[in-house]
Structure 1
Amino acid sequence: MAGIKDVAREAGVSASTVSYVLSGKRSISAKTTGKVMAAVEKLGYTPDASARKMRGMRNQIIALSAPIRGDINQARYNAYFLRTAWAARNAGYDVMLLTGPDAVKDIRRVTQSNLADGIVLLDVEQDDERAAQSGTFSKPCVTIGYPSSHADCACVDIDFVLMGQKAIDFLHEKGHRTVAFLRNNESDYDRRSGYVMLFRESLLAHARECGMTIIESEHYEADSFDAKRFVHAAFARPDRPTAIINQANASVLSRVLVELHDNGISIPQDVSVLSCGTYFEGEPTRFLVSEMPVMPEELCTEAMNLLVSAIEEHTNIKGSVKLIDPAVKHRGSVAEAGSGEAI
């Protein structure tokens, strides 16, 4: 079995440096810490009881895992990061942002070295590897999202299944029976982003139950979206929609709103527009749109409360799930079903 001297030799540092990294007793550079943790992982080294006890000391730092992708929604990313940082600060913690592509490795590096006292996961996918591996992180973990595998972490999210149902019920009560659905970026579906998948599946299923027709947009990426094609494909048909449910970002929806305006289709007289799972408070559209938005402040505050209770009170939060009911923000873009003329 490997010992601390073996780890020191592998990492090219002294045994005392290895001890400091593992105990968190002294501040060690990220570069050296990385070398030590790589050696620990390679050799399968397990600290003795005294080192593990020292590792119980808190550093008042929360690791926020939010890998940066090329198609990231900056407004939403910024909102969740800032709200998490704010909630952490109010609880007496700083935030360490982890943005690398190998998220599991990054989390293990900062938890096994005692740099972080707990982890918050953002941008969660349905089959999220970070959530699935959270039992190996040695620190409590909360996801802002609802992954399928969450036995070893806590989950906080909006109830996107309920959101899909409420969107259909909201429009159905106003007489809408044919609805165009503007999808999100195809890359979000390809990587099975949790909220995107849950909302769409719920929306389509409940529409069938209510006898409503959903006209779904073609697959697209935001930089190549053709608003003219979308509007004409939906509104030139005999059973033209009387409402649009939007899941796309503000830039894509704004192009659709302009195209509707240019074709003489009035909102909400001719077509109602309801956006779901978006964040137009930080990413405004060309025209005001009623919305069931994401809630960064509520979600991040709840996530931090759970994490702090696990860190400071040793509360067992594994497997707990808190889903927040979605709510409509009325901005005047939804009305009773109209009968505008087809294009």
Structure 2
Amino acid sequence: MSETRFAEAMVCFDVFQVDLRSGELHREGQRVKLQEQPFRVLSLLIERAGDIVTRDELREKLWLADTFVDFDHSLNSAVARLREALRDSAEKPRFIETIAKRGYRFIGQLRSALPAAAVSSPSPGTQSSSLLRVRIPGRIWMGSTFCLAIFSVLTLSALYRPSPDSQLERIEVVPLVGLRGFQATPAFSPDGTLVAFRQSDGARNTGIFAAVVGGDKTLQVTADPGDCCPTWSPDGRRLAFIRYAEKDVSIFTIPALGGTEHRVYRGPPAMRAGLSWSPKGDVLVFPETNPTDPTRSVISSLSLIDSSTRALTSPPAGWLDHEAAFRPTELRWLLSVLR
């Protein structure tokens, strides 16, 4: 396959136009709202159009090594939002094809958005191809992120620099568990004696785990690689967690020390993380993707008695309500809203 470059870094496929320099996606001339990370996934897939881009490659190129996030959840969410923007589906893909247990592949037919004279001709002796490769200015994103991080550190250092007379207590950082692999989304039990977290080592030790704070033993509570974000019930007897799958997302509850799982909700795959128990332990609040308008997510309440849901917020199109939290003693919640 010959490599073709564009002076304006603009490519088209179907009814979409992608401006790789400005980071914008348009559909028939109208801008499509798409967050930065899903756009970066699209850019890399376009750069490697027709080839499989593995999940490891996506992690290496798009998630910095010192960025501590739940990668599997972040990537699944980014791909789901990308498909929503492209009006694509995992079952019958037109643009983004899932390669099971490996990664993704862009299968759309790319074409130049520039006149023919602006596109370089393939070298003699090579065949032209309808699939076009474009170099993505990924260093710009990484450089901007690095500069912003340095600026933030310097600013905070200037604002919170202790006076010479003050003495800061030394804080000792010690590991809570000795498991190999990746741990994320920790949550302490209400009495502070246990911690639940997501564990992944790519093998058997994957799922939700619990450990005694200060102890040396861990307990595997679940074993699904899509399990994430454990949250303790107010009495410390149960855990609620999210299970991400290719086609949907579910919310489960389970006894804190393991036992029978109970599915209490199933919804679209683009749901963001964030669960909170009510003080009485009979309701969960969570960010629910609107099935008729995927550009919005609302905060919904979920009854653990009959699994009924009720929308609590009504954001405008393009707004994503998430991270709701109950106050410990009142049926009120605080909302963090991402536009």
TM superposition score normalised by structure 1: 0.28
Higher helix share: 1
Higher strand share: 2
